[in-house]
């Protein structure tokens, strides 16, 4: 991990670098030894490309988060790892539920190489949280059936479940005629 000072230095370095403005880095968070950079959604690809140049060349995972009731509600976390220094940093973006859209980091583009490992994880975030990733090569649901409605890991999604059929209420089950 970069320590708290290292995180601030990293943020400063990114703000001063070419290609993204100073406003692209919204803030830093150092909590329980874990360094987090919060980034504006439209700059996520550029920031990740800059971090890759600084050694954070391995994307360990991509998560979705629902921060309900805080706004903007949905978050996407990218966990980066520097394999030589064994150093981790988390990059987060927040998107509102009204327009849950984000650039995909999976494909290669004009602004740099992509992160192929993000492919299935972005699909999973789309499936579970409904964040649509622009430019993703195969933006489909991955876990739920294709015709499923809703995004079940959102916190306002009902817990639901099926009524359990026991012997005493078996006749209420569908398909039983007596």
Partner 1 sequence: MEIKRETVRSSAPTGQGQGGVEIDSSGLRVNKHDAKELLRGAELLGPTAPASMDGEELERYVHERVLTTTLEKAVSWGRSNSFFPLAFGLACCAMEQFQTAGPRMDIARFGFEAFRASPRQADLIILAGRVSIKMAPIIRRLYDQMLEPKWAISMGACCSSMGVFNNYALVPADKFMPIDVHVPGCPPRPEGLMHGILKLRKMVQDDPDAGWRERYDARGTEEILPGA
The contact set with partner 1 (CB under 8 A) reads 143-145, 148, 152, 157, 159-162, 164-166, 170, 173-178
* Shortest separation between residue 106's beta carbon and partner 1, angstroms: 23
- Least distance to partner 1 from the beta carbon of 160, Å? 5
Of 154, 105, 106, which is closest to residue 130 (Cα–Cα)?
154
Taking the C-alpha atoms of residue 125 and residue 106, their distance in angstroms, rounded to an integer, is 13
Give 33 or 145: the residue with its C-beta nearer to partner 1. Answer: 145
Kindly tell me the burial class for residue 31, based on how many C-beta atoms sit within 10 Å of its own C-beta (0-12, 13-18, 19 or more): exposed
User: What letter does residue 158 receive in the DSSP assignment?
Assistant: -
The side-by-side arrangement of strands in the sheet containing 34-39 is 25-31, 34-39, 87-95, 74-82, 58-66
**Closest to partner 1 by CB, 5 or 177:** 177
In the bound state with partner 1, the residue whose beta carbon lies nearer, of 62 and 128, is: 128
Distant-in-sequence contacts of 111-117, Cβ < 8 A, 24+ apart? 111/19, 111/45, 111/46, 111/49, 112/45, 112/46, 112/49, 112/52, 113/49, 113/52, 115/48, 115/59, 117/59
Least distance (Å) from partner 1 to the CB of residue 158?
A: 8
- Minimum CB distance to partner 1 smaller for 5 or for 174: 174
Closest distance of CB 112 from partner 1, Å:
35
Q: Whole-number minimum distance, CB 161 to partner 1, in Å?
A: 4
Judged by beta carbon, residue 132 or residue 144, the one nearer partner 1 is: 144
């Amino acid at each position: 991990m970069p320590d708290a000072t290292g995180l601030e230095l990293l943020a400063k370095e990114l703000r001063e670098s070419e290609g993204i403005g100073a406003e692209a880095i919204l803030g830093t968070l150092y909590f329980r030894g874990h360094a987090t950079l919060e980034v504006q959604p439209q700059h996520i690809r550029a920031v990740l490309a800059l971090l890759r140049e600084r050694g954070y060349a391995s994307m360990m995972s991509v998560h979705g988060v629902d921060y309900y009731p805080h706004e903007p509600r949905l978050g996407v976390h990218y966990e980066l790892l520097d394999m030589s220094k064994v150093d981790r940093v988390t990059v987060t973006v927040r998107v509102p539920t009204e327009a849950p859209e984000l650039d995909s980091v999976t494909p290669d583009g004009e602004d740099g190489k992509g992160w192929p490992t993000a492919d299935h994880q972005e699909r999973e975030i789309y499936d579970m949280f409904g964040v649509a990733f622009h430019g993703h090569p195969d933006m489909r649901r991955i876990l739920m059936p294709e015709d499923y409605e809703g995004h079940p890991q959102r916190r306002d999604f009902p817990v639901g479940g099926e009524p359990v059929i026991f012997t005493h209420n078996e006749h209420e089950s569908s398909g039983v005629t007596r």
